[in-house]
Amino acid sequence: QVQVVESGGGLVQAGGSLRLSCAASGRTFSRYAMGWFRQAPGKEREFVAAISWVGGRTYYADSAKGRFTISRDNAKNTVYLEMNSLKPEDTAVYYCAAAALPRSSGLGSAKGYDYWGQGTQVTVSS
């Protein structure tokens, strides 16, 4: 069992930056792929970014490429999402998720994850 807890959300003006953190419990954190998803009001949850089990390979949604950076610190059991050049359309609840094993759905799908946090609100004002 893995528990993940997000933090770092808040209110920021368009063009600003935020860094989200996701702390995970468990001694085998490095064995989990980690992902970030977001859900805006009235919309489905969508993939933002992911980082693989080993090697730290990263994946991004088109909307995040060039603006967001996902990274992990296995010594701290933490994954980060650095968000720059934020836009009002980035406003959403951001969720962190952990994936124990590869699945055919891949890391770009919510079905590829086993454990989810409660989310942290990010609001970008225009």
Measured at the CA of 84, the angle between CA 15 and CA 125, to 5 degrees, comes to 40
pLDDT score recorded for residue 101: 83
Residue 20, number of CB atoms within 10 A of its CB: 24
pLDDT score recorded for residue 106: 87
Positions in the chain whose pLDDT score sits under 70: 27
Report the distance separating Cα 48 and Cα 65, nearest Å. 9
pLDDT score recorded for residue 74: 86
Residues listed for the chain: 126
pLDDT score recorded for residue 29: 72
Report the distance separating Cα 56 and Cα 80, nearest Å. 12
Residues near 42 by Cβ (< 8 Å), separated by ≥ 6?
A: none
